[in-house]
């Protein structure tokens, strides 16, 4: 299983290689065309690279997001880490734990796990971090799981004090004003 995951991570990091054949122009071809005789072309294989997202490359990311979606509308519960109710970090911890990644039960501590990723590089499966209730707060106080990225629109699932497990978008002013960063923890699947 680890070898499959390592292979998937390597494919994401280096791109997927696909072979193609492309006609090439040779000196014989140029000479033949210049003499108005039939031209002969030669097929030469080339290699191209196609970069795919984590979501497309690692099936477990899709499974992780699917698992999180199964818990939509479960109520918010301060300190909660189960289906009886979740706080934000309890929810992300619960979801990742199902797939072998142990996260701390603190949004601030989750902000130190994995690697920091620029917002423009965010992918489904990444953690998204926010300041607490006040946009002037200096520390991380909320966390969610990115489920979809379309252009610059980031959709995430989280457990919010006013609605429990639900979807929201980063472009909503409440979250935009409190945005702190993105952390990639999916790569920790290979170390378990």
- The domain in which residue 15 lies consists of 2-50
Are 74 and 132 contained in the same domain? Answer: yes
Average pLDDT over residues 136-144: 93
Are 85 and 167 contained in the same domain? Answer: yes
Tokens 């909660």 belong to residue: 80
Look at 6-15, 81-90, 127-136, 171-180 and tell me which has the smallest mean pLDDT.
Answer: 6-15
Are 113 and 181 contained in the same domain? Answer: yes
pLDDT score for 29: 45
pLDDT score for 48: 47
Are 31 and 59 contained in the same domain? Answer: no
Are 64 and 21 contained in the same domain? Answer: no
Model confidence band, residue 26 (pLDDT cutoffs 50, 70, 90): very low
Distant-in-sequence contacts of 170-174, Cβ < 8 A, 24+ apart: 170/119, 170/128
Average pLDDT over residues 160-173: 97
Q: What percent of the chain has pLDDT over 70?
A: 68
Are 67 and 6 contained in the same domain? Answer: no
The domain total for the chain is 2
Last residue of a domain, one of 50, 67, 90: 50
Catalytic choice (71, 105, 133, 142): 142
Are 91 and 182 contained in the same domain? Answer: yes
Are 44 and 66 contained in the same domain? Answer: no
Are 80 and 45 contained in the same domain? Answer: no
Cα–Cα distance, 90 to 183 (Å, whole number): 17
| Residue 36: φ, ψ to 5° | 60, 35
pLDDT score for 136: 83
Active site residue 142: yes
Are 90 and 116 contained in the same domain? Answer: yes
Which is more confidently placed, 53 or 77?
A: 77
Are 37 and 75 contained in the same domain? Answer: no
Cα–Cα distance, 72 to 75 (Å, whole number): 9
Are 113 and 162 contained in the same domain? Answer: yes
Do residues 16 and 52 touch, judged by C-beta distance below 8 A?
A: yes
CATH no. for residue 166?
3.90.1720.10
Cα–Cα distance, 188 to 144 (Å, whole number): 17
Cα–Cα distance, 66 to 146 (Å, whole number): 12
Q: Is the pLDDT of residue 38 over 60?
A: no
Last residue of a domain, one of 50, 68, 83: 50
């Amino acid at each position: 299983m680890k070898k499959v995951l390592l292979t998937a991570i390597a494919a994401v990091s280096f791109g997927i290689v696909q072979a193609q054949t492309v006609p090439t122009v040779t000196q014989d071809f140029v000479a033949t065309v210049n003499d108005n005789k039939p031209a002969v072309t030669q097929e030469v294989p080339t290699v191209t690279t196609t970069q795919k997202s984590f979501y497309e490359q690692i099936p477990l990311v899709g499974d992780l997001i699917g698992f999180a979606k199964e818990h939509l509308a479960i109520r918010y519960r301060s300190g909660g880490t189960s289906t009886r109710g979740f706080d934000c970090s309890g929810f992300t911890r619960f979801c990742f734990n199902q797939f072998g990644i142990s996260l701390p039960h603190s949004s601030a501590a989750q902000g130190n796990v994995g690697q920091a990723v620029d917002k423009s590089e965010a992918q489904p499966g990444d953690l998204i971090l926010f300041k607490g209730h006040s946009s002037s707060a200096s520390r991380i106080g909320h966390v969610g799981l990115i489920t979809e990225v379309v252009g610059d629109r980031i959709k995430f699932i989280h457990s919010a004090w006013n609605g429990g497990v639900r979807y929201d978008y980063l472009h909503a002013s409440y979250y935009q004003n409190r945005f702190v960063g993105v952390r990639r923890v999916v790569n920790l699947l290979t170390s378990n």
